[in-house]
Chain A
Amino acid sequence: MNLARATGVILAKELRTEFRSRELLGTTVVFVLIVIVLFSFTFNPTSSESRRFGPGLLWLAFLFAGSLMLQSSFLREQTNDTLAALRLAPIEPFSILAGKMAANFLFLLLVELILLPVFAVLYNVAVLPVLGPLLLVFALGTVGLAATGTVFSAVAAQARLRELLLPLLLLPVLAPVLVASTEATIGILRDPSELSSVWLTFLACFDVVFLTAAWMVGEYLLEE
């Protein structure tokens, strides 16, 4: 079965499983909400201050939430050893990773979209006029987060202390994404709004590098 089809089938299964219970989605949204609210206590959320500090805090919140949420990606497959069931199938091992990466990307993007209006309201930031560029940055940053996070979820699933391990592995590697996404977002929210081609290209590069790396070495993680 070819890679694209197998990835699609697995993606559909991931979506169906998650939307049936919606527990992971719900919990993650609430977690980011808590982080946003707590951050608001650390500075005075006037309009100009928010535009300076807000994006960084927002992206930090996304990274933290992501590193918690991505754990279940491969932990789920340890119940009833369904990972073995996937590996029994005549599919390329990478399609398992790819399907999960795609699913995680969609989940994380959904969380971000739900929280964007909340952020805008709580921190007095006008996002509607610049929604397009914002979504572009969100998408590029989230691809990096989902791709790396899914691979590291597979890594952590084989180790002890996996709840602590995933953030430990993921956050340092994603530091460039944090810098780039934050700077790009700050630029977009500035008055007048500017879209930094440097940061966008950088994010795209990051995504390409790590997607390629995941494609080349990711499947080794699934072996026994």
Chain B
Amino acid sequence: MRWSAVARSNCCAISSRAEPSLVSAPLASLPNGDTGAPNGLSIQFSEVEKRYGMRLALRGVTLAIAAGECVALVGHNGSGKTTLLKIAAQLTRPSRGNIAFYAGQNPISLEEVKSRVGMVGHHTLLYEELTAEENLIFFGKLFGLRNPADKARRALQPVGLAGRATDLVRTFSRGMRQRLSIARALLGSPGLLLLDEAGTGLDPEGQQWLGAATKRLRDSGCTILMSTHGRNETQGAVTRAIRLDVGKITHDSGAGGDPNEVLVMAAVRDTGEEGAS
């Protein structure tokens, strides 16, 4: 039956299938999930600098992110947001300075951190020639999850892709791929979630879902670091906003402060720039 589903998806055009509506099902539970006890990781960036050839993407960034914070990174393209996220994901090493992770008071080794981090990047990070389910099972196995097949199926529910589990990702629309990408990031119940403009490609319903999901994750203690353009649905969940410009932090609303000031500032600046150019 799986074979025929795959064969079918090879023939059907993307547009012939209606976008399934999102079910607001509860997310896969996180460890210590609903007790409210923070299980999120905290991060310390110390004088982090990243150089790509001649270009300095980040210059001397020192930043401490506490467990359970939901931090929005705002700034123009090229300001260093993606680079900062990549360093947090350990996809790239800082040219200077370093990064350290902690669970509560205890430092965690960089290798161990990887299994507790989920990331949604600029690209979907998905294999086109595999089905949605196969993609999740594959990554689940690599992350060392027990019972990956079961977890994969359950992860497809909240993003509304349960009905397309056995279809090749190649047949998915942009929005569906993005949702699958998010499901993949959440698969291992991460203590640190990195979102690089995760709302891109999602329709308004999807954006709303993402906003609600972010809030729920934050409430259950997960640390979230996300790059946004400052004007979207996930704003409600944000506890702290940091503005980056040409690789440096220009504004930080701080751990207890009001993130909206920074978010509004970013929006105005962006609009101003767009108007001027």
Contacts of A81 in B (CB 8 A): 121-125
Q: Decide if A1 touches B142 in the complex (CB within 8 Å).
A: yes
- Answer yes or no: B115 CB below 8 A from chain A CBs: yes
Q: Decide if A13 touches B138 in the complex (CB within 8 Å).
A: yes
Identity of the chain B residue whose Cβ is nearest the Cβ of A96 in the assembled complex: B142
Residue count of chain A within 8 Å CB distance of chain B: 23
Q: Decide if A82 touches B126 in the complex (CB within 8 Å).
A: yes
Q: Identify the interface centre among B90, B91, B124, B130: most chain A CB within 10 Å of its CB.
A: B91
Identity of the chain B residue whose Cβ is nearest the Cβ of A89 in the assembled complex: B142
Contacts of B138 in A (CB 8 A): 9, 13
The interface bits of chain A over 75-93 (1 if a CB of B lies within 8 angstroms of the residue's CB, else 0) are 0000111101111111100
Q: Which of A17, A91, A223 contacts B93 (CB 8 A)?
A: A223
Identity of the chain A residue whose Cβ is nearest the Cβ of B92 in the assembled complex: A224
B114-154 residues with Cβ-Cβ distance < 8 A to A are 114-115, 117, 119, 121-130, 134, 138-139, 141-144
Q: Identify the interface centre among A13, A17, A21, A79: most chain B CB within 10 Å of its CB.
A: A13
Contacts of A20 in B (CB 8 A): 6, 129-130
Q: Decide if B123 touches A21 in the complex (CB within 8 Å).
A: no
- Answer yes or no: B111 CB below 8 A from chain A CBs: yes
Contacts of B112 in A (CB 8 A): 90
A158 CB, nearest partner CB in chain B, Å: 13
Contacts of B141 in A (CB 8 A): 9
Q: Is chain B's interface secondary structure helix, strand, loop, or mixed overall?
A: loop
- Answer yes or no: B86 CB below 8 A from chain A CBs: yes
Q: Decide if B127 touches A17 in the complex (CB within 8 Å).
A: yes
User: With contacts defined as CB atoms under 8 Å apart, how many contacts are there between chain A and chain B in the complex?
Assistant: 69
Q: Decide if B125 touches A82 in the complex (CB within 8 Å).
A: yes
Q: Decide if B142 touches A91 in the complex (CB within 8 Å).
A: yes
Chain B interface residue bracket vs A: 20 to 34
Contacts of B124 in A (CB 8 A): 80-81
Identity of the chain B residue whose Cβ is nearest the Cβ of A18 in the assembled complex: B129
How far is it, in angstroms, between the C-alpha of A13 and the C-alpha of B131 when the chains are bound? 12
Q: Which of B89, B123, B126, B142 contacts A6 (CB 8 A)?
A: B142
The interface bits of chain B over 139-182 (1 if a CB of A lies within 8 angstroms of the residue's CB, else 0) are 10111100000000000000000000000000000000000000
- Answer yes or no: A190 CB below 8 A from chain B CBs: no
Q: Decide if A85 touches B139 in the complex (CB within 8 Å).
A: yes
Q: Decide if A86 touches B92 in the complex (CB within 8 Å).
A: no
A8-54 residues with Cβ-Cβ distance < 8 A to B are 9-10, 13, 16-17, 20-21
Q: Decide if A88 touches B119 in the complex (CB within 8 Å).
A: yes
Q: Contacts A90-B112, A90-B144, A224-B86: A84 and B91 contacting too (C-beta < 8 A)?
A: yes
How far is it, in angstroms, between the C-alpha of A79 and the C-alpha of B129 when the chains are bound? 11
B141 CB, nearest partner CB in chain A, Å: 5
The interface bits of chain A over 56-86 (1 if a CB of B lies within 8 angstroms of the residue's CB, else 0) are 0000000000000000000000011110111
Contacts of B125 in A (CB 8 A): 80-82, 84-85, 88
Q: Identify the interface centre among A6, A82, A224: most chain B CB within 10 Å of its CB.
A: A82
How far is it, in angstroms, between the C-alpha of A80 and the C-alpha of B172 when the chains are bound? 13
How far is it, in angstroms, between the C-alpha of A117 and the C-alpha of B76 when the chains are bound? 61
Q: Decide if B114 touches A88 in the complex (CB within 8 Å).
A: yes
B49 CB, nearest partner CB in chain A, Å: 15
Contacts of A88 in B (CB 8 A): 89-91, 114, 117, 119, 125
A59 CB, nearest partner CB in chain B, Å: 31
B179 CB, nearest partner CB in chain A, Å: 15
Q: Which of A21, A86, A91 contacts B129 (CB 8 A)?
A: A21
Contacts of B121 in A (CB 8 A): 81, 84
Cross-chain pairs A/B with CB under 8 angstroms, 24 sampled: A6-B142, A9-B142, A10-B142, A16-B130, A16-B134, A17-B127, A20-B129, A20-B130, A79-B128, A81-B124, A82-B126, A84-B91, A84-B125, A85-B125, A85-B126, A85-B139, A86-B142, A88-B90, A88-B91, A88-B119, A89-B114, A90-B111, A90-B143, A223-B93
Which positions in A face B, CB cutoff 8 Å?
1, 6, 9-10, 13, 16-17, 20-21, 79-82, 84-91, 223-224
Which 3 residue pairs spanning A and B have beta carbons closest together? A81-B123, A85-B125, A89-B142
